[in-house]
Structure 1
């Protein structure tokens, strides 16, 4: 049997966010200067988040957010060894996972590595605003919003829709609770569908009573919250599929939109350090910078 050589690279997706608010780079620098318990924020019972700056190189701020999971862990086993051994972590120790970022002040663009195990963009925003308003920094910074950069085409179409006629969702059962940020009734409908279906992936399609009539007006509170959920990047983390159909201004036929695919995204291969998931940070910086430069004109002109 011929063994194939394992690749020393791993593919990572990079997503782009507009930072709404002033002084973001100063805020990041000051947060990074914190030490001890001041630099941490609990996201859940077993997860802390903190910022670990790597470098401020010219016009770029490069760093990572670390999710440190503490608590009970499974035992470890060495390859070829059937015996399990304890991980040997102390009470204040845990397993950390990095999510790399690149901030470009000139365009107020934050490029974020999508790491399935790492810090979610919603948690990054929550963490920054928590520390920024905590009194630990030189001044109280304003609340920041991280708005996912969508393709101009979909941004225009969403703004020009007269109304939404249908909404089609696929979601993992464990993610349903997050939809309460959009609408409690939507969350309830998904929970009911999960009880009936008995599968991990829940599908739900909501249509207007007349088929092609109005389900949601473009200026309705629900549609506004849905668009905000999409722009914050939360939809990409929560939904498996999210599609709508609606009537554009001046049109007579419905148009369909796949809201998870209409974002600006770059996929790069990152060099790994040996056989682990640890990435070569110089390569991460270069790939983040390359991803930004490849979309720079589009990002500036949006």
Structure 2
């Protein structure tokens, strides 16, 4: 089980995330917790507050084609569902109000962090809340990136077929590039921005915001951004260093979890893994 960390940002006119979580917790009817995000039905299956942190388990309700069950001595056979039944893909999450970080389980077929942020943003249908989860990079690459006072080049690849409408709305320039690619029938955009070899030449401060937007897009939609590399140097006497930002998200993997007789990872084990990740990252997850 892999765990990633995200900093929670909220728009200034949004409610505190805790108030939304309290509202979700107070809704005892599971059907009433269901929201549809990007044509996906999901809900907070379980949510509770323990020792000041929030533990959650989100479920994607999947009624599309799925696997069967099989044994070594029998042929594969299907599952039987009632008329509203389907597969449930589980994703655990932990929110620490003190630091403002949320930790999420990575489940390729489950609910991604970006979808969780949209679910919590739209949960209270009487309010307009906007929560954004910003991926936390590992400390080493954050320091190296901060030391790059001269940004010489950044290159990224976007898979336009995997992007959502929200992804496409990120910045006029990027939207124009995507529209140009779409009009040409392109599925992927590979963009490289660089300056010449002059010692003190550097990309403008605008490059930093574009890089941040791309890192955030990757955090919310891991399939959309395929590459993001930044090349820079500390000063004009230093050598150029290339940083792979997609490969340096803060992440920990636990290999000691055991599946139950139904071949699912029990919720308490997944929550425990999130708590272990939080404890191990205490010095990194600061306000």
Q: Smaller-chain TM-score range? A: 0.7 to 0.9
Kept after mapping to 1: 8 A contact 2:157/2:228: yes
1:187 maps onto 2:181 in alignment: no
TM-score (norm 1): 0.74
CA distance 1:247–1:191, shift in 2 (3 Å): farther
Show the counterpart of 2:48. 55
Distance 2:280 2:19 in 1: 26
Post-superposition shift, 1:253?
4.2
Show the counterpart of 1:17. 6
Unaligned runs of 5+ in 2: none
Deviation digits for residues 240-280 of structure 1 (CA, Å, limit 9, x no counterpart)? 4321213546656433111012322111122211362x112
Show the counterpart of 2:32. 38
Distance 2:9 2:186 in 1: 40
Kept after mapping to 1: 8 A contact 2:148/2:235: yes
Unaligned runs of 5+ in 1: 1-11, 197-201
Kept after mapping to 2: 8 A contact 1:193/1:204: no
Show the counterpart of 1:108. 100
Show the counterpart of 1:254. 240
Post-superposition shift, 1:117?
0.9
CA distance 1:258–1:191, shift in 2 (3 Å): farther
Distance 1:264 1:224 in 2: 20
Kept after mapping to 2: 8 A contact 1:162/1:218: no
TM-score (norm 2): 0.77
Show the counterpart of 1:119. 111
Corresponding residue pairs, total:
274
Matches within 5 A, 1:234-249: 234=220, 236-248=222-234
Show the counterpart of 1:93. 85
Post-superposition shift, 1:82?
4.6
Distance 1:109 1:163 in 2: 30
